Amino acid sequence: MAEQMIELNVTGMHCNNCALSIHKLLEKKGFQNIFVDFASEEVKFSTTDDSVLPEVIKNIEGLGFKVVDDLNLNNEHFYEKVENKFLFSLFFTIPLLLHMVLPWHFFHNPIVQLILCLPVFILGCMHFGKSAYNSIKGGVPNMDVLIFVGSSSAFIYSLIGTIQNLGPDYLFYETCATIITLVLLGNAFEKRSVSQTTSAVKDLVKIQQVTANRILNGETEIISARDVRPGDILQVNQGDKVPVDGDVLSGDAAIDESMLTGESIPVEKTKYSTVIGGTIVQHGNIRMIATKVGSNTVLSQIIELMKKAQSAKPPVQKLGDKVAAIFVPVVIGVALLTFGLSYWLFDVSFQKALMHAIAVLVISCPCAMGLATPTAVMVGLGRAAKNGILIKGGDTIEAIANTKYVVFDKTGTLTTGKFRIQEIKTEIDDIEKIRGLIFSIEERSNHPIAQSLVRELKSLPLKKVILKSVTEQKGLGMRAEDIEGNNYFLGSGLKSNKADNGADFNLFLYQNQQLLAQISIEDEIKPDAKELITQLKKMNIIPVLLSGDRKSKCIQVADAIGITEIHAEKLPEQKLSIIDLYKQKGKTVMIGDGINDAPALTQADVGVSMNDASQVAIQSARVILLNTDLHSVVKFLQISKHTLITIKQNLFWAFAYNIVAIPMAAIGLLNPMLGAFAMAFSDVVVIGNSLRLKGKKLR
């Protein structure tokens, strides 16, 4: 039976340890390719037997989480919202705290304090106790174990003091209530902040949720974009969002494609133009035919790429995950040791020793470690996506750090890919036949040279040739056969002695191995190429030109923009070995756009592809630049660098906080209430630092 990917939406996860407990459960059951993300509330795994799904859902819900069909339709009940739980607790906690500063004897009564604390404690048991029990059952004790043990210790100790009437020294009801209230406040902050870090994907999903005007038998009906099928005729008016990908049948419109490319200038669309779902019609109106719908649209693929990118953990995160997994048992051990040493060795009173131990439990926070990396990665990926840069993996961000070489393909990357024919030198008198052969062969290719030649030849007199088959050879050219059995080759890869091998001619057309024509073409350098190379050099990155084109053409482009390292006339397999050589000397990024670049894009530490590249190149690359503006390359390097800096800052603060806070709590410098506040604050600091990346000035 074929392996298939199962995707579940799971609510109730609020830290990395929650995700780890589900991960461990699925691992024990022997599933593969497991991905659990608490921030996006997604669980994925692959299996060959989907009949086990009901049992898996039952087991996940047995851990205290909830599996839902659609996160957008999952409305939490009033009493389930963490914000409402916090407000409920606060209502009872404020009077408990007031008795410490106000001389109202009524609040000093142990029974009154018990009555005020009890609702908060019960809520804490339901919220933290249930999660703590389920996490221990799952084999990965989470943060809630520490909160539950700490608050319960304070409550039980106070309850014994109340029953035995031992006096005010034995009453710590306000400690129990304040711990629960402050941690709920931290959870509320965390929930709001995490939802902001995942906003990039949520924004894209919202773009998909539109209606479409379908034309059926001359009548217009309004349907959801989800119900559009390939071949449907749709009317899109000014101000509407294009519902799905398709081709324009009639009409003219200026369409804002900034959500896809980051380019703010609207693009003019006329008959036969391609339009993309989610883009907005600013002026005019069009009638279109749907070509790609559902998960096949460009927008759906972008959303899927973003989700996959968030799931790929950078190596730096694995350290945080390992620490978080063993953290809770270690902290419980430290708390017990603190109590033992304080009470028996340093002769501290039982109450103080207990408060020290509770403070250790409450102040320890593996949540900050678990949040450190995913929040920064999500904000970084979101910022990149808004700049028209799609990054296929969170681990790509770390792979790009300390880049030493950026290797460029020439055609379509550093140059516009729009070619002009300078000259056609023919061996026969029939120029229209030669043009017709070139046109018929090249219209079957999506290489930038081929597309430019087809565009130019379309307007000239030519005799089209009916071809039986056309195949593309990576790095060489095109082979074709006509209905009469003649074989043709058009490309730069084969040259006979009859060919003029000077710098003037780059393409050669053969019929049955006899030279028919030599074609001289010129390509225009992108206006921002020189500035890009200058910026890379300022960043101490060495630019390299690696092309299958002729040496003279490569030198001409390299000299114009300032590249000194040139490798010309290279076939795909030769490009691979050159990338390997650079990888041995330092981190190497390859930027290309053609089929012949695909192996090199895969081989490089990070492959970057242009949006107008071949589908093979896009699939081979780990980064796709939706905007053909070369400034995107620098923007991508800057976003990656600053995301990694943010991750390291987050991990530093998370570790430093615990290294300083736990010993301070153990020696009695922090009481449990202050500890609960500091713990909530540590999460907010880490998430706040990640969110800073949204608007941070990149240098």
Rounded (5°) CA angle 196-201-206? 100
pLDDT of residue 500: 46
User: Measured between alpha carbons, how far is 200 from 93 in angstroms, rounded to an integer?
Assistant: 37
Q: Give the mean model confidence (pLDDT) for residues 96-123.
A: 83
pLDDT of 268-315, one tens digit each? Answer: 899 989 998 888 998 899 999 999 998 888 778 767 766 665 555 556
Counting residues of the chain whose pLDDT is more than 90, the rounded percentage is 20
Would the pLDDT of 614 be above 60? Answer: no
Rounded (5°) CA angle 32-296-237? 145
When comparing pLDDT for 137 and 53, which is higher?
A: 53
254 sits in which H/E element: strand 245-256
CA separation, residue 650 to residues 574, 657, 683, 685, 694 (Å):
42, 10, 10, 8, 15
CB atoms < 10 A from the CB of 676, how many?
29
pLDDT of 313-369, one tens digit each? Answer: 556 555 655 665 677 788 888 889 998 998 888 878 888 888 888 888 777 766 677
pLDDT of residue 377: 82
pLDDT of 192-227, one tens digit each? Answer: 766 665 655 666 677 777 899 999 988 999 999 989
pLDDT of residue 325: 63
Which pair of tokens denotes residue 12? Answer: 């109730």
pLDDT of residue 545: 95
Name the catalytic one among 37, 232, 256, 409: 409
Active site residue 612: no
Q: Same fold for the domain at 4-75 and the one at 229-292? A: no
CATH number, domain 229-292, options 3.40.50.10170, 1.10.3720.10, 3.40.30.10, 2.70.150.10 = 2.70.150.10
Would the pLDDT of 501 be above 70? Answer: no
Which pair of tokens denotes residue 611? Answer: 């949006």
User: How much of the chain is helix, strand and coil, in % rounded to 5?
Assistant: 55, 20, 25
pLDDT of 14-47, one tens digit each? Answer: 666 677 778 888 888 888 888 887 767 888 888 8
pLDDT, mean over the chain: 82
Query: By C-alpha distance, which of 390, 232, 189, 383 is closest to 302?
Result: 390
User: Measured between alpha carbons, how far is 93 from 95 in angstroms, rounded to an integer?
Assistant: 6
CATH number, domain 4-75, options 3.40.50.720, 1.10.540.10, 3.30.930.10, 3.30.70.100 = 3.30.70.100
> Mapping DSSP to helix (H, G, I), strand (E, B) and coil, where does residue 264 land?
coil
Q: Where are the beta strands (DSSP E) in 431-494?
A: 467-473, 477-482, 487-491
φ, ψ for residue 309, nearest 5 deg = -60, -40
Q: Give the CATH architecture of domain 378-414+526-639.
A: 3-Layer(aba) Sandwich (3.40)
The residue extents of the domains of the chain are: 4-75, 89-116+127-198+306-365+647-694, 229-292, 378-414+526-639, 416-525
Residue 498: pLDDT band (50, 70, 90) is very low
Q: In the chain, count of helices (H) and strands (E)? A: 24, 24
User: Measured between alpha carbons, how far is 337 from 355 in angstroms, rounded to an integer?
Assistant: 13
Superfamily of chain region 416-525:
Calcium-transporting ATPase, cytoplasmic domain N (3.40.1110.10)
Would the pLDDT of 480 be above 90? Answer: yes
Which pair of tokens denotes residue 553? Answer: 């053409």
When comparing pLDDT for 641 and 698, which is higher?
A: 641
User: Measured between alpha carbons, how far is 108 from 263 in angstroms, rounded to an integer?
Assistant: 66
